[in-house]
């Protein structure tokens, strides 16, 4: 089992990662009857995309001997109304490290093929940009 999720009431859930026992809360957003006091489930999807991109780039960077520690992603999620769903995820990656132009291309291509990116429905637009140093 990967995780368990407990509905706590008032549109809040608590997820527990079974291996580590780390917990994560989610709230419905304020524009959908919630308090917005934590990540919404759709925030988690957009955030997971950025985490996945950085993780896959991190693996490839390590293989190439490039340190990208403290690289950062800024995420903006845009919702559609009818039906209510994620329309677009904008991710601006501020990449640290000093790879060659060739290795930048290799790292970017690796990141864009992360499992989360490949798992999202094609109707979800993924706008991912890279800024190096």
**Per-domain boundaries in the chain:** 3-32, 41-132
Contacts by residues 29-38 (CB-CB < 8 Å, ≥ 24 positions apart): 31/79, 32/84, 35/10, 35/11, 37/12, 38/12
Query: What does the pLDDT read at residue 102?
Result: 98
Strands 125-132 and 85-95: what pairing? parallel
Instruction: Kindly report whether the peptide bond that precedes residue 58 is cis, defined as omega within 30 degrees of 0.
Output: no
Q: Would you write out the chain's pLDDT as a tens digit for each of its 133 residues?
A: 999 999 999 999 999 999 999 999 999 999 999 999 999 999 999 999 999 999 999 999 999 999 999 999 999 999 999 999 999 999 999 999 999 999 999 999 999 999 999 999 999 999 999 999 9
Tokens encoding 11: 């549109």
**Residue 123's pLDDT is what?**
97
> Residue 56 has what pLDDT?
98
Whole-number pLDDT of residue 58: 98
Which residue is it, tokens 């060659």?
100
Alpha-carbon gap, residue 47 to 65, rounded angstroms: 26
Residues 6+ apart with CB under 8 A from 120: 45, 49, 89, 126
Among the four given CATH numbers 3.30.300.20, 3.30.470.10, 2.120.10.30, 3.40.50.300, the one describing domain 41-132: 3.30.300.20
């Amino acid at each position: 089992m990967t995780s368990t999720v407990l509905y706590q009431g008032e549109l809040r859930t608590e997820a527990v990662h079974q291996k580590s026992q780390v917990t994560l809360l989610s709230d419905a957003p304020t524009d959908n009857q919630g308090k917005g006091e934590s990540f919404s489930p759709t925030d988690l999807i957009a955030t997971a995309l950025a985490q996945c991109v950085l993780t896959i780039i991190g693996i490839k960077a390590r293989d190439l001997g490039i340190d990208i520690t403290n690289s950062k992603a800024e995420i903006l999620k845009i919702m559609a109304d009818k039906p209510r769903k994620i329309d677009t995820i904008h991710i601006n990656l501020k990449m640290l490290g000093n790879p060659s132009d060739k290795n930048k291309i290799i790292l970017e291509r690796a990141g864009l093929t992360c499992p989360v990116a490949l798992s999202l429905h094609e109707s979800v637009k993924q706008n991912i940009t890279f800024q190096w140093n």
